[in-house]
Structure 1
Amino acid sequence: MSDDEQRGRRAASVHRVGGLLGDLQAADEQPVAPRRRADAERNRAQILAAAEQLFAEQDPRSVTMDRIAKAAGVGRATLYRSFPDPSSVAVALLDEHERRLQGQLIYGPPPLGPGAGAGERLAAFYLAMLDLLERHLPLALGAETGPARFRTGAYGFWRVHVRTLLVDHGVQDPDPLIDIALSPLSPELYQFQRHELGLSTERIGRSLADFARQLLRSAG
């Protein structure tokens, strides 16, 4: 056998061994990623479930990352890999409920969805938001109070929706009015009216529906 043939066989042998080792390594590593994803999903579910209970049981602004980690039975590092602060945990919990309402605003029947006048749509939006706040106030207080409220994706969506209604109504300069129109939906204000003043959701809703129509009439 020539030297070239021997070198060729040795190279082929090395290539086969390397390929087998690579196949074994790939086979060994393949289940790891799904296992890690399953672990991460399970940890996230535990975190969200524990946090929702904490937000419901105490002042949401007093909930800390330490308390969430302990209640969820996960380490701080695991918690921080998914969420930077308690507010982001509340945002994740509230997100599903808000997305459902967003879909109704875009695709749902009037007056909440397209097809009604701007004043009636704004009134319907107020009533839908009050319902969301009534059912998920602890989460809203944990996610959307103070300056943080204006930086959430949901608030950005509400701004676009209200601006669209104002423009459709013929308001020449809608931008200064957008946040004025959204200000009655502050979770802190709703908490004050419902739990300190004792106003019913129905009473608040009637006043906000009238406010919506008057705002559009005066701005048009």
Structure 2
Amino acid sequence: METAALPLGLPRPERGDAARNRRHLLDVARQMVAESGVEHLTMDGLAERAGLGKGTVFRRFRTRAGIFHALLDEDEKAFQQSVLSGPPPLGPGADPVTRLIAFGRARIDFLFAHAAIARASLDANQSVPVGTATISQFHVRMLLGRADIGVPDLDTLAVQLTAALEAPILLYLHTPAGADTNRIRHLADGWQTLIERTCAALR
């Protein structure tokens, strides 16, 4: 397992009953999204369907956007684990440039698959979070360092490359009717071309 690949951190431990309620609420929320779509999930509806009080849902998530943020966070952690310990080329075992290409392709697929949840996780009362790119940026920076491409300022290059992947751009490109498979393929192919040409030019 590649323990230094991503800064996962250690979550604060939950009480047993709080952890069970959280797990139950997220499972029910996923069921409701699968059945009716993101737009029909409400805090009141989730409380009723889960058989819990509205106060419990409010304390856990604070806002409707908080429900989707928690769902997205769970899937983000699963994605991170596939990068940390999954099979190559996404996981450890392939050369750094090949892993960069695989990471970008997988990240684009992930973000398009989660576009509706990602949109719903944005709180209209808050600015668009820029921190969503942090983990991808860290991983891209690590792989650039291992690729030994001869660039003194890899931090800036990692920021620029990560900007081609993360949610604000992909949410903007996502069509209201659903993800366009050709658009996904073109973005993935574009990422591969960007990485291949950048690394070849700088070596």
Do these two structures clear the TM 0.5 threshold for a shared fold by scoring above it? yes
CA distance in 2, matches of 1:147, 1:126: 25
CA distance in 1, matches of 2:122, 2:174: 17
Structure 2 residues without counterparts, runs of 5 or longer: 1-14
Write out aligned runs for 1:121-160 (5 A).
121-143=99-121, 148-152=128-132, 155-160=133-138
* Paired residue total: 177
- Alpha-carbon spacing, 1:111–1:206, altered in 2? closer, same or farther (3 Å): same
CA distance in 2, matches of 1:132, 1:105: 12
Counterpart of 1:68?
43
Measured against aligned partners, the alpha-carbon deviations of 1:98-142 in whole angstroms (never above 9, x if no partner) come to 222222222233221223333221110011112212322222223
Equivalent in 171, 195, 199 of residue 212 of structure 1: 195
Query: Is 1:177 paired with 2:157?
Result: yes
Counterpart of 2:59?
81
Measured against aligned partners, the alpha-carbon deviations of 1:25-66 in whole angstroms (never above 9, x if no partner) come to xxxxxxxxxxx954x456434543554445973569xx7xxx
- Alpha-carbon spacing, 1:87–1:217, altered in 2? closer, same or farther (3 Å): farther
2:47 and 2:54 in contact (8 A); partners too: no
Equivalent in 169, 184, 193 of residue 201 of structure 1: 184
Identify which of structures 1 and 2 has the higher relative contact order when contacts are C-alpha pairs closer than 8 Å and 6+ apart: 2
User: What amino acid does structure 2 have at the position aligned with 1:69?
Assistant: D
CA distance in 1, matches of 2:131, 2:54: 25
User: What amino acid does structure 2 have at the position aligned with 1:179?
Assistant: V
Query: Is 1:110 paired with 2:110?
Result: no
Cα deviation, residue 144, structure 1:
6.5
Note the aligned Cα RMSD (angstroms): 3.3
Length-normalised TM-score, structure 1 = 0.63
Cα deviation, residue 158, structure 1:
1.7
1:133 and 1:187 in contact (8 A); partners too: yes
Q: Which runs of 4+ in 1 moved over 6 A?
A: none
- Greater displacement, 163-172 / 198-207: 198-207
- What's the % identity of the aligned pairs? 27
- Alpha-carbon spacing, 1:191–1:173, altered in 2? closer, same or farther (3 Å): same
Kindly name which structure, 1 or 2, has the bigger radius of gyration based on alpha carbons. Answer: 1
Structure 1 residues without counterparts, runs of 5 or longer: 1-35
